[in-house]
Amino acid sequence: MGRTAVTANGHSRTTSRLHVFDMDGTLLRGSATIELARQLGQLEAGVDIERRWVEGTVSDNDFWLKLLEICHDASAADLKGAFDSAPWMDGVAETFADIRSRGEEAIVISQSPAFFVRGLERWGASETYGSTVEIGQPLVNTATLMPMVKVSITSSALAERNLGPADCVIYGDSSSDMELFRTYPNSVGVNPTPALASLAATTYVGTDIREAYALGRQLISQTTEKQLTQGSAH
């Protein structure tokens, strides 16, 4: 049974579950930065800045400034080409379609630039969130979407839909997802780092997000059965 909530514009929204996906390393087998740099003929620069960010030897702002430099002359066709040719996990659009067919919603929360993450709305994500980095716009000091902000966004998304923590499934792969995995009980580690795997309710290793999503559905079934058992006990 879905739950109906009233949104800020006065419209009602009925959603029975929320699926929250990370992008890089979860839906995307790689990173947006690398794929943008590859498309724009600056792969070496993209690999270098990504490596330095992972190592912690470059500040967030310097990372974004370099990415904006790489993307400075990118056309809409270039950006779409980078998105479309990226090494996505198999079955992303099909997974989003199945979620919608059940009266549920999928949202994507990523540290990658919002202009790249937004492309997943074309594939069926209800909402997407990314770092506030936009080509041709000034960079703000708080551009990076931090791990605790992922928790805040998820909490707000659940509240808007009149759902609770047990009504969502989190899918992630690495350190930026750890706070989400600590906060919400239903979590699927997708090719996870060892640290994230230790927090996950279940894990998936492979290249088909439909299989990870199937594990998420198992967590939903287990939660529903537990709720029904607890209800009958009262």
Residues 6+ apart with CB under 8 A from 121: 127, 128
Judged by DSSP in three states, 81 sits in helix
> Residue 4: pLDDT above 80?
no
pLDDT band of residue 6 (cuts 50, 70, 90) is very low
First-last CA distance in the chain: 20
> Residue 12: pLDDT above 90?
no
Q: Which helix (H) or strand (E) holds 187?
A: strand 187-190
The tens digit of pLDDT for each residue in 182-218 reads: 999 999 999 999 999 999 999 999 999 999 999 999 9
The tens digit of pLDDT for each residue in 115-166 reads: 999 999 999 999 999 999 999 999 998 999 999 999 999 999 999 999 999 9
pLDDT band of residue 15 (cuts 50, 70, 90) is confident
How many of the other CB atoms lie within 10 Å of CB of 233?
6
The tens digit of pLDDT for each residue in 52-84 reads: 998 999 999 999 999 999 999 999 999 999 999
Is 115:136 a contact under the CB 8 Å cutoff? no
* Six-digit token string for 39: 């498309």
Q: Which helix (H) or strand (E) holds 189?
A: strand 187-190
User: Looking at residues 15-42, what average pLDDT do you find?
Assistant: 96
Report the predicted TM-score, pTM, of the whole model to 2 decimal places: 0.90
